[in-house]
Chains A and B, each alone.
Chain A
Amino acid sequence: EDQVTQSPEALRLQEGESSSLNCSYTVSGLRGLFWYRQDPGKGPEFLFTLYSAGEEKEKERLKATLTKKESFLHITAPKPEDSATYLCAVQYNFNKFYFGSGTKLNVKP
């Protein structure tokens, strides 16, 4: 069964404490893996797209990587404004995506 699993469900970090979020998938025919950030009461905001194993993308303190079975979102020296829920989504068809349930990140000053 196709599935996208994110871990951990919640993560509390001190400001400056680097860590990684995981998105594992069992979807055949991956066409792309997407990361989004969602702030409370708002819609998800697009961060990255990864298309093939070994690919990496960076934006400020965030770096996304992709293997054949999982993706990591690395957060380097996070700040309180990085607190949000991070969602990953796997595209398996042109207009079809599986979303994970998200990791809620809380960065304490």
Chain B
Amino acid sequence: DVKVTQSSRYLVKRTGEKVFLECVQDMDHENMFWYRQDPGLGLRLIYFSYDVKMKEKGDIPEGYSVSREKKERFSLILESASTNQTSMYLCASRGANYGYTFGSGTRLTVV
């Protein structure tokens, strides 16, 4: 089975901190994604990457950046965390013509 592993299940960070969320997949998928999930708003795409060092903005990229130095790893960076970035963050990978495989999520609280 494809596995997508997110490094932390729960994180608490202070306003203004730089936050790194890590994601690793083990199925050699080209495409990787970062979503955030908020009650009533569903899943919203932050960034995605279709190849090493390639990235594209999703629907809500402001305040975030990403890094993909290796095919299996996709990192989400909150440059200066703010309270409105408190959310569940979901990483996913996808092969051609398939649905997403999601990680278990990181619940981030910014205080």
Contact = CB atoms under 8 A, between A and B. Distances in A.
Contacts, number: 51
Interface in A31-81: 32, 34, 36, 41-46, 49
Interface residues of B, number: 24
A66 to B, nearest CB: 14
B98 A49 contact: yes
B48 A95 contact: yes
Interface residues of A, number: 19
Interface of B: 4, 31, 33, 40-45, 48, 50, 56, 90, 92, 94, 98-105, 107
A31 to B, nearest CB: 10
A46 B100 contact: yes
Contact of A100 (B42, B56, B90): B42
A16 to B, nearest CB: 29
